[in-house]
Chains A and B, each alone.
Chain A
Amino acid sequence: MASIDYQVPQKGDLRLIIQGRLDVESTTPLWSQALKKLAETKPETLVVDVNAVDYCDGTGIGLLLELRRTQQENNRRIQIEGLKPEFQQLMTLFDPGQISKPLAEKLSFGRFIKRAGQLGFKTWDDLRTQISFLGELAVKFLAAVLKPGSIRWTDTFLLAEKSGADAVGITCMLGFLIGLILAFQSARGMEQYGAQIYVADLVALVLFRELGPLITAIIFAARSGSAYAAELGTMKVNEEIDAMTTMGLDPVKFLAVPRMIAGLFMMPLLTMFNLLSGLIGCGLVMLSLGFPPVTFLNRIQNATSLGDFTGGMVKTLVFGMLVAGIGCLRGLQTGTGASAVGDSATRAVVTSIIAIVVVDGVFAVVYFFLGV
């Protein structure tokens, strides 16, 4: 253990007498004690008497150096007495000299405007990169379609299985629950007007035109878009993408095009499963309200047209390409460090969902003018 004593030999001076073993455990309580005394007394001359210190490790030396630094910063004198030669050597070895401090940023209106501008430009650049990448991907996709032999079909089927067949369960479950909840909530409102029979019309139209493609696309983004980003991100961190590039292989063609094809074909299929499950959920509610299945099916046939169905399906093709493309882009943009792959997956999901909603809005306007 170590102890510390104070003496005031004459006014304005201080003598600190340190005894014992200065290691990391025993130095810890002394550190605050010594510096507090120094701050209170502000001695012109500080004498640190370490004649009775029999052991000193890096932390002990740290205390002596800190006392010296504090005195020197305040233009006061310090004298360390009785330090054994081996510890003197450590003082030289450990002395960090001038301590560097990170530059603190002051908050100001100008800085706020600068930051906002930087953020605006960054977002604009990101948008341009996304459009440019999706364009490049579309060109390479068309080239691959024109020359089907160049497509890596084994990878493509495997990806289609992982992002399509493996996702049928979750897509059906969510579709069923959404159909059920939507029908149940609408039925409560329509009961007042005796219009419960139209619940089937409402749910079928909403599912075919809007919710079916949208919910499936969001599941696809969360499940497969993030997986694409994480997979390509890990390849980027492991320098596999660099290796591919230096071998003259195009990562977009080899990695992104198969994923885009998988997305393009799987999204409509998953949406159909989602729609069917949604209608089953709605049918159960209708049945519980006393409507026989044949009435429910007749209402759906009357309420919806082939245009409603195909309109929704066209959307799913675009959503599938968007989610796959954005997932691949974010994966290829992965930086360095342990969190980079996680960040890429998050960015892939967020960007995909924003893109899905924006494109859905564009479709709504286009369909309105086309009368679909």
Chain B
Amino acid sequence: MKTDSETVIRVEDLTAGYGDVVIIDNINFEVKAGEVFIILGGSGCGKSTLLKHMIGLLPPVKGEVFIEGKEIVSAVGQERVDILRRIGVMYQNGALFGSMSLMENICLVLEEFTDLPREAMEFIAEMRLKVVGLQGSSHKMPAELSGGMRKRAAIARAMALDPKILFLDEPSAGLDPITSSQLDDLIIELSNSLGFTFVIVTHELPSIYKVADRVVMLDINTKSIIATGKPDYLRDKSDNDWVRQFFSRES
């Protein structure tokens, strides 16, 4: 765990919900630079809702989210764009643009935010695809790829502008154990080589044990955080029975 590093994300007194329904009630936590940080919890506890608030897609009922010291909720215009450029997001199903090749999917972001010549953009897109193990697939359409490949391509697109923070929503969902494990290896490699900070929403225990530096666990009943720490520690020493059961896969 990289506790000595600087804080890159800070969630303060966050209350989130839809309409009158509160899903997350007054939570606080920090994510350190270079950390692989997992948001965990049972179905319906608000993991994806929390992620959407962290990337500024949903406005909170109360509270603030700081990305590298800048508040994302109140940011507008260029200030907001500048914050969003520092992060990359992989959505649950990849969310690649179906009418564009992988190359075009990646170049679209580069075209919008840089003045690089077209050849340079294509070269950078090839590089990103190489990192995620999809070299030679740049001219393929998303429909030609398997679920795992689509997720890898989505990570490559999220990396287009060299963000330092990557948010992944359920990266292992719908993947076979081998592909899922390969994706975990990729996360570890990107974290070690490029120093990315990962915020991952998942409830796949094997993946969590493999990649996580730290875990924050949400509870559907209290609508708050019931545990924070390393997965091994929570399994063996958490004072909450349900948390220990969750990490031990006991019913």
Contact A337 B99 (CB under 8 A): yes
- Given A337-B98, A338-B98, check contact A94 B143 (CB 8 Å): no
Which residues, 81 to 132 on A, are CB-close (under 8 Å) to B?
89-90, 93-97, 99-102
Assess whether A23 is interfacial by the CB under 8 Å rule.
yes
Minimum CB distance partner of A337 in chain B: B98
Contact A62 B139 (CB under 8 A): no
- From A23, A58, A63, B159 is in contact (CB under 8 Å) with A58
- From B117, B138, B142, B162, A100 is in contact (CB under 8 Å) with B138
- Given A337-B98, A338-B98, check contact A24 B139 (CB 8 Å): no
Assess whether B115 is interfacial by the CB under 8 Å rule.
yes
A32: B residues at CB distance < 8 A: 117, 120
Which residues, 149 to 196 on B, are CB-close (under 8 Å) to A?
159, 161-162, 189, 193-194
A66: B residues at CB distance < 8 A: 120, 123
A97–B131 CA distance with the chains assembled, in angstroms: 11
B186-213 contact mask (Cβ, 8 Å, vs A): 1 or 0: 0001000110000000000000000000
Contact A339 B159 (CB under 8 A): no
Which residues, 129 to 152 on B, are CB-close (under 8 Å) to A?
129-131, 135-136, 138-139, 142-143
Contact A62 B98 (CB under 8 A): no
B108: A residues at CB distance < 8 A: none
A23: B residues at CB distance < 8 A: 162
A90–B130 CA distance with the chains assembled, in angstroms: 12
Assess whether B221 is interfacial by the CB under 8 Å rule.
no
B124: A residues at CB distance < 8 A: 58-59, 62
Interface residues of B (CB under 8 A from A): 97-99, 113-117, 120, 122-124, 126-131, 135-136, 138-139, 142-143, 159, 161-162, 189, 193-194
A319–B123 CA distance with the chains assembled, in angstroms: 55
**In the complex, how many angstroms separate the beta carbon of B199 from the nearest chain A beta carbon?**
19
B138: A residues at CB distance < 8 A: 100
Contact B99 A62 (CB under 8 A): no
A96–B130 CA distance with the chains assembled, in angstroms: 5
A94–B129 CA distance with the chains assembled, in angstroms: 9
Contact B120 A90 (CB under 8 A): no
Contact A62 B120 (CB under 8 A): yes
Contact A96 B143 (CB under 8 A): no
A339–B100 CA distance with the chains assembled, in angstroms: 11
**In the complex, how many angstroms separate the beta carbon of A4 from the nearest chain B beta carbon?**
15
B97: A residues at CB distance < 8 A: 338
Interface size class of A (residues with CB under 8 A): 20 to 34
A23–B135 CA distance with the chains assembled, in angstroms: 23
**In the complex, how many angstroms separate the beta carbon of A321 from the nearest chain B beta carbon?**
34
The 3 closest A-B pairs by CB, nearest first: A96-B126, A337-B98, A57-B162
Contact B131 A338 (CB under 8 A): no
A96: B residues at CB distance < 8 A: 123, 126-127, 129-130, 135
Contact B193 A93 (CB under 8 A): yes
A89: B residues at CB distance < 8 A: 193
- From B120, B128, B130, A31 is in contact (CB under 8 Å) with B120
**In the complex, how many angstroms separate the beta carbon of A74 from the nearest chain B beta carbon?**
15
Minimum CB distance partner of B120 in chain A: A31
**In the complex, how many angstroms separate the beta carbon of B22 from the nearest chain A beta carbon?**
31
Assess whether A3 is interfacial by the CB under 8 Å rule.
no
Minimum CB distance partner of B85 in chain A: A24
Which residues, 179 to 195 on A, are CB-close (under 8 Å) to B?
none
**In the complex, how many angstroms separate the beta carbon of A276 from the nearest chain B beta carbon?**
45
**In the complex, how many angstroms separate the beta carbon of A101 from the nearest chain B beta carbon?**
8
B115: A residues at CB distance < 8 A: 28-29
